[in-house]
Amino acid sequence: MNSPITCKMCFDEFDDFRRPCSLPCGHSFCTSCLDSLIEDGKLKCPSCKQMHFSVKGSAFPVNYGMEDFMSTYKLGIKEKPAICSSRMAKFTDYKSNILKYVHISEDLKSQLEDYNHKILHRRKTHEGLLEEISDLLKANETAVNYMKEEHIKVEKLLENISLLHRKVKAILAVDHCDSREQSLLDVAKTDDAVSALEQWIKTCKELPNESIFIDSEKVLERPICSLFVSTTLEVVSRPVNFAQSAFTINEKIAKILGKETLTVEKMTSNLERLKMLIKAGIMYAIKTIAGNVWSAPLTFDDDKICLHYLRKETPPDHVHTVKHSELISTLNIDSTMVFMNFAWKEKALGKVHIRLEPYTPLACQFRILCTGDMGKTYAFTRIHEVGSQHNDSYIAGGDYEFNNGNGGACIDEDAVQSCNFYNRANYEGLVRTASGLYDKSKSTQFRITTTNLGGGIDGSFGKVEEGMSVVHEVSKIQKGTVRIVDCGVFLPFN
């Protein structure tokens, strides 16, 4: 079984039918065994488990060295002299021992080659990183030097204006002239001061140095720098026209570093960078409604990303933006969760999370008013009713039209036509229509049940998942004094 002239798989001696063939990994087996191992053109070495590819065992090269050794080995066994049997046995054991080490060395050689490949790959990776770091250090050193020069220039400007202001104050302090010579001297001083101030103002209006900020941004946007700074998802280096000097220096810098509108794909390809942008307060969604740009900020609530309601205002120039419709398209209709923030007078009462029913027109209408997709929103509407009867207990709101319970026209016809299809037990936290069935004039009004009452009720479309204590607090306050100060939807980004 341990003979060097036998196959290590079937333990039969090699012969003309079972010829020894070598696999690329270095291990040898008979052609018959190799044929039996091939499946779908693939063969896994029984010794090292390395995968090889062939349609038949005889396609692998014959180990002629093994065959020569077999011939010599067999001849030695057949012709061994009777008088040297013990010595020949020792010699055979010696050769078997050598062959064993040959097999071991072949295995180790294969492992070393694989190990060497891994080392070479990592070495090249580190060399590439070293080259990148070297380039980064050079670019960073250049940026630092430019910033130092600009800093010295600005410090000098600040020093000069302080000196000029002192001179101007001294000139303004003179309220009479003792002589004609003194008058001429004062006029000359005034002219010099005005000229110096004009030159100083002209120099300031040439700031900032656009090129150094673009070079700085190119350095900071490199992936390795993202470990240390909150950088951009995409750097846009483009010339900015400052011919009209109405912008402040900070506004000019913001325009130099201005970013294009991003896509959801770009945002989600680097969630860590996206989180940095949101935490920095420079991520907004935008939408055009009736020719006007509306915007909505993105914020964090623990680990959840919040898309707040749209408001009729353009976002700041320096922020990153994404199309509002793209974010809405990512919502999971099976499990959408919205939020509302309540306040009483100047006191924040807290946030309520509401999980909406899937495939429900009423829920869709509710979500649209939370995000303000159509320019209408629950934001800054009042809780206009607090009900507490023997068969019902709730708070009611949602009148975006009149804010007193007399309005709230539907924005989705399907919501009115199908509201009676959603019948649920009237338990604590149930979110349902407040208008009764088929009332288009108050379709967007809603109620949140505050006690477990049981029994079925039509028009339900969601439930409070978090913040029921806030709802209870609202129910204890006089109606009409609590407002929804913020609302929106949680985005399904991890």
Strand partners, 293: 288
Is the pLDDT at 492 greater than 90? The verdict is: yes
Q: Which band of pLDDT confidence, cut at 50, 70 and 90, is reported for residue 376?
A: very high
Of 328 and 479, the structure prediction assigns the larger pLDDT to 328
Integer CA distances (angstroms), 166 to 86, 157, 171, 172, 175, in order: 115, 14, 9, 10, 16
Distance of CA 214 to the CA centre of its chain: 24
Separation between Cα atoms, residue 381 and residue 481, nearest integer Å: 10
pLDDT, position 179? 62
Average pLDDT over the chain, rounded to whole? 83
Banded model confidence at residue 234, pLDDT cuts 50, 70, 90: very low
CA 486 to chain centre: 25
Q: What is the pLDDT of residue 421?
A: 56
Cβ-in-10-Å burial (0-12, 13-18, 19+) of 198 comes to exposed
Query: Residue 296: pLDDT above 50?
Result: yes
Cα(408)–Cα(95) distance, integer angstroms = 97
Share of residues in the chain with pLDDT > 90 (%): 33
Q: Report the pLDDT value the prediction gives residue 248, as an integer from 0 to 100.
A: 64
Candidates 470, 482, 400; CA nearest to 429 is: 470
Give the SS3 label for residue 418: coil
Specify the pLDDT at position 276. Answer: 79
The whole-number pLDDT of residue 436 equals 62
Amino acid identity of residue 145, one-letter, is: N
Residue reference for tokens 């049997």: 85
Question: Which pair of tokens denotes residue 183?
Answer: 């008058």
How far is Cα 257 from Cα 17, in angstroms, rounded to an integer? 76
| Among candidate residues 308, 294, 486, 441, the one with its CA nearest the CA of residue 375 | 294
Contact call for residues 427 and 455 (beta carbons, < 8 A): no
Q: Which of 82-91, 104-113, 166-175 has the lowest mean pLDDT?
A: 82-91
The pLDDT of residue 2: 62
The CB density around residue 407, as the number of other CB atoms within 10 Å, is 17
**Reduced to 3 states, what is the DSSP secondary structure of residue 6?**
strand
Mean pLDDT of the region 124-148: 88
Kind of pairing, strands 482-491 and 381-389? antiparallel
Taking residues 92-114, what's their average pLDDT? 84
CA–CA gap between residue 59 and residue 40 (Å, rounded): 15
Q: What is the mean pLDDT of residues 370-397?
A: 92
Mean pLDDT over 174-178 rounds to: 65
- Report the pLDDT averaged over residues 117-125: 87
For residue 3, the model assigns a pLDDT of: 73
pLDDT at 204: 87
**Contact indicator for 55, 42 with CB cutoff of 8 Å:** no
Instruction: Reply yes or no: is the peptide bond before residue 4 cis, omega within 30 of 0.
Output: no
Which one is predicted more confidently, 491 or 26? Answer: 491
Confidence of residue 102 (pLDDT cuts 50, 70, 90): confident
Domains of the chain and any CATH numbers: 20-119 (no CATH), 337-491 (2.40.100.10)
When pLDDT is averaged across residues 466-472 and rounded to a whole number, the result is 97
- DSSP letters along 32-49, please? HHHHHH-BTTEEE-TTT-
pLDDT above 50 for 382: yes
Q: How confident is the model at residue 446 (pLDDT cuts 50, 70, 90)?
A: very high
Alpha carbon distance 172, 136 (integer Å):
53
- Is the pLDDT at 339 greater than 80? The verdict is yes
pLDDT higher than threshold 50 for residue 236: no
Q: What percent of the chain has pLDDT over 70?
A: 84
- Across the range 85-90, mean pLDDT stands at 74
pLDDT range class, residue 238, cuts 50, 70, 90: very low
| pLDDT at 232 (0 to 100) | 36
CB 484 within 8 A of CB 397: yes
Dist. CA 462–CA 336, nearest whole Å: 10
At 407, is the secondary structure helix, strand, or coil? Answer: coil
Residue 324 pLDDT more than 80? yes
pLDDT, residue 237, reads 38
Confidence band, pLDDT 50/70/90 cuts, at residue 94: confident
pLDDT score at 235:
37
Which one is predicted more confidently, 89 or 344? 344
Count of beta carbons in the 10 Å neighbourhood of residue 347: 9
The whole-number average pLDDT for the span 183-203 is 80
Whether the CB-CB separation of 341 and 488 falls below 8 Å is answered with: no
Q: Is the pLDDT at 263 greater than 50, yes or no?
A: yes
pLDDT at 84 over 70: no
Q: pLDDT confidence of 243, banded at 50, 70, 90? A: very low
What tokens does 437 get? 């069935």
**Where does the pLDDT of residue 40 fall: very low under 50, low under 70, confident under 90, or very high at 90 and above?**
confident
Q: Which residue has the higher pLDDT, 247 or 399?
A: 399
Q: Which of 39-48, 217-226, 266-275, 471-480 has the lowest mean pLDDT?
A: 217-226
pLDDT at 450 over 80: yes
Summarised one tens digit per residue, pLDDT across range 384-441 is 999 877 678 999 999 999 999 999 999 877 666 655 556 788 899 999 988 765 688 9
